[in-house]
Chains A and B, each alone.
Chain A
Amino acid sequence: MTDQKKIIEIRDLHKSYQMGSTRVNVLEGANLSVRRGEFLAILGASGSGKSTLLHLLGGLDRPDQGRVLFEDQDLRDYKRGRLNRFRNRTVGFVFQFYHLIDEFNVRENVLLPAMVGKSVLAWLAGRSQPKRRADELIEQVGLEDRALHKPYQLSGGERQRVAIARALMNRPELLLADEPTGNLDSATGNSILKIFEQLNRAGQTIVMVTHDERIAQMATRAVVLVDGKTVERRVGQPS
């Protein structure tokens, strides 16, 4: 199932944060390449830079040094509009802390990427299709009876599922998930992991950050972030 073509690649990535007078070097020459259809787990201790790396992959931040190549093209060379389209269509991002819009209900939150990608008129002309897709996704993550609820009415696990549905809305080529089960109990976590497994089986490329070894077992491949560098680690083959 895994076709060998690279979808995204990082080369010699450096990223540091300035905090007052001290400089925190988070990534110091990280390398990684993700193939299409792969389920890659990024492991590492807390504070090792996993989220930072994922943000760089999704074009949400810029590296200090090194390159992020999507299909062999450096994100740095993207024009602003192209970068926005990349964030809107090419990647789906599941944040560690959900980041839903409080004023929107579940359905509207899921629809958001489709709305962002279209002008008002284009949206009004062709909204039935994205609406159908949103309803399918909501069903897929098991929230069909919560579709009109606002985020504050949902539990953490339910919010995470909304965030996943939202990330999938525009059928992204690359799904980036930052500890989607980190704040959840193991039962809820397992149900969410199942969703990812199903998606991957259907051909979805997934990069998931976690510090849970058990989850890493499900992935096709795992890398560990140590001292700002990625270390490849063979794990059990997927079933």
Chain B
Amino acid sequence: MARGEHDYDDIPGTFVFDQQRSRQGYGINMFCMSLMQDENRKAFKADEAEYLKKFNLTPEQTEAVLTRDYNRMLELGGNIYFTAKLGATDGHSFRHLAAVMTGSTQDDYASMMLGGGRSVEGNRSKSGRFDKPAGVAAKSRAKTAGARKAGKAKAGSKPKTRAKTSKKSKK
């Protein structure tokens, strides 16, 4: 069945783990869950392709796992809290995987986070129809106009440290 359209598909660089993806990715996530046990980690490491046969993955899903294509795993129904167990089996932290998924180096990603993280400015909407703050944060809109021009780090592009770090962090 084709994937239906959802309002959240407009959010850039984001694969929402919804009901349809959960159904589609059941095998990926149960495979990842199995890696919680040491003997399974060893069996997987010994012969990855053979081990994956137990989980009824599609060829695309199998390839995504074998090549450690974390974005593709999410797109095909994996969830980050599960795929992180695959990352942990390879000895990687959440932050390491996050850097990998953004296509940046570990150093660049770490300095982006220390600089206050990826700005939401320019990262709200693929269509551009929702690129202004809405709802609860809307009243600080006037103040963000300058920031929007100054520091855009588009999803997937090389992360750029935001000009202003959070003042609160110095408290």
Q: Do A and B bind each other?
A: no
